[in-house]
Chains A and B, each alone.
Chain A
Amino acid sequence: MRRFAYLIPKSLDEAVSLVEAHGEKARYVAGGTDVLVKIREGKMAPDYLVSLRHIPGLGGIHRDPHTGELRIGALTTHRMLECSVEIRRHFPILHDAVSNIGSVQIRNVATIGGNLVNAVPSADGAVPLIALDARVRLYGTKGEREVELLHFFLGPGQTVLERGEILTEILVPPLPPRTGGAYIKWARREAMELPILGVGVLLTVEEGGRRCTRARVALGVAAPTPMRALEAERFLEGKVLDAEVLEEAGRIAAEESRVRDSVRGAAWYRREMVRVLVRRMGQKCLARIGEA
């Protein structure tokens, strides 16, 4: 591998000042499963890797038992999320996504923050978190700020992060009762694969019925950045959810998507699958609420 110096700051301020000091020659690294591959392939050539792994307080999953708010440290590995009973029980839509990223070996090392910061259109972690209305906390020279995850992404590989800024935490607001969510990574095989499409649906229904009070439809690989199908969401809200309504929501989401041809799938196929998978995930949401 190409030579670099590996710097191990013990605080956020120290990390930020190291990247400030070395400018373009420095890159942050968390798990390293993307950065090290890019260095090997010559797509990245930093002289300094500034590790975020040894800064206390950047890892961990905390769900407030009273409010239900979830906080995920950016250095939390996918495997920690996959194995978390809290995530499985309260945020199955996130569990669906993180348990099928890479392999066990990758998930043991790769972090959710790294997945988001890479900002690839196929980021499996981003779609369910967008459906969950997640915000991200950023830390840099100018202090701390919070951004909605949906607006964190600017384009493929581009985020609102400024030079030296670090994504420190993901905040997921509490879910209303009678909410169900589901995510599917649509791919040619089950592991070690990037999705042709990622579809996350989160539905809330009223007490004692199936009238939808809140809907989120999030899509990955359907546009240059992860997106929400807002028209489909608006259509679902207020409707009594049945097979026909979900089918129509799928059709609307497919219309809204900005899919394109790529090596992994043709645009027409992706559009068709948005329709199918939004319906399927809608049904899975209802099943998880106990209303299927």
Chain B
Amino acid sequence: MARTISFLLNGEAVEVRVEDHWSLLHLLREELGLTGTKEGCGSGECGACTVLVDGKAINSCLYLAVEADGREVLTIEGLAAPDGTLHPIQQAFIDHGAIQCGYCTPGMILAAKALLDENPDPTEEEIRHGLSGNLCRCTGYLQIFEAVRAASASVRKEGIRVLSGERGR
């Protein structure tokens, strides 16, 4: 069966025709051409396909596209500012060498974003717990944890600046 769904994708309203059995991952990659989201295991074990739905990290390989109807989906393509300025988490991954082959990176960064949105100052333990659904097979996790710790500091600083009115957003 096919049906039309509408949802917010990286801040923009989209309306697409989807088949019932499509995963959100299939919709993103194969139909909408957003190949930043990766398919790893296809069974919810590796986290490479992590995207945010209504701010929550989910495995898009196990999430039906039809269930995105009326929701807000954020993929790695929607993280940087329109002018290309990287999100602090993205920048921190570069600064701390937390990327090697890059395959797990979009999922890692989105899982980290969900974590920091909920808990801007996580402990080491909370970072590990929050990222335990994302496998990396080359960089090593330490640089990734370090990057998230650094990002949490800059995200918080950013937050304070916004609150104290230094930025007119």
Q: Are A37 and B44 in contact (CB under 8 A)?
A: yes
- B45–A192 touching, CB < 8 Å: yes
Contact with B along A247-288 (1 / 0, CB 8 A): 000000000000000000000000000000000000000000
| Most chain A beta-carbon neighbours within 10 Å: one of B45, B62, B130 | B62
A104 within 8 A of B: yes
Q: Does B42 contact A (CB under 8 A)?
A: yes
A105 to B113, CA, bound (A): 13
User: B133 touching A32 by the CB < 8 A rule?
Assistant: no
Chain A 1-19 interface mask (CB, 8 Å, partner B; 1/0)? 1111110100000000000
Q: Counting CB contacts under 8 A, is A138 at the interface?
A: no
Query: Which secondary structure characterizes the binding site on chain A?
Result: loop
Q: State in angstroms the CA–CA spacing of A104 and B55 once bound together.
A: 12
Query: Interface with A: B63-71, B74-82, B89-97, B154-162, which one?
Result: B63-71
- Assuming the contacts A37-B44, A40-B42, asked whether A109 and B62 have C-beta atoms less than 8 A apart, the reply is yes
Contact B133 A36, beta carbon cutoff 8 Å: no
In the complex, chain A residues whose CB is within 8 Å of the CB of B115: 104
Number of interface residues of A (CB under 8 A): 27
Report the Cα distance A262→B83, complex, angstroms: 55
Chain B 20-67 residues near chain A, CB threshold 8 A: 20-23, 26, 42-45, 47, 50, 56-59, 62-64, 66-67
In B129-155, the 8 Å CB interface with A consists of 129-130, 132-134
Q: Does A53 contact B (CB under 8 A)?
A: yes
Specify which of A40, A49, A104 is in contact with B132 (CB 8 Å cutoff).
Answer: A104
A190 to B114, CA, bound (A): 20
A4 B20 Cβ-Cβ under 8 A: yes
A22 to chain B, nearest CB (A): 13
Give 1 or 0 for each of B1-25: 1 = CB within 8 Å of chain A CB: 1000000000000000001111100
Give 7 CB contacts A-B under 8 Å: A6-B1, A6-B21, A79-B56, A99-B129, A103-B44, A106-B133, A109-B62
Write the residues of chain B forming the contact surface with A, with a CB cutoff of 8 angstroms. Answer: 1, 19-23, 26, 42-45, 47, 50, 56-59, 62-64, 66-67, 111, 114-115, 129-130, 132-134
Please name the 9 residue pairs, one residue from A and one from B, whose CB atoms are nearest each other, closest first.
A103-B133, A191-B132, A6-B20, A5-B1, A108-B56, A105-B133, A105-B59, A37-B43, A36-B62
Give me the interface of A with B, judged by CB distance under 8 Å: 1-6, 8, 32-33, 36-37, 40-41, 49, 53, 79, 99, 102-106, 108-109, 190-192
A36-B62, A192-B133 are known; give 17 further A-B pairs, CB within 8 A: A1-B21, A5-B1, A6-B1, A6-B64, A6-B66, A8-B66, A33-B44, A37-B62, A79-B56, A99-B129, A104-B115, A104-B132, A105-B58, A105-B59, A105-B133, A106-B59, A109-B63
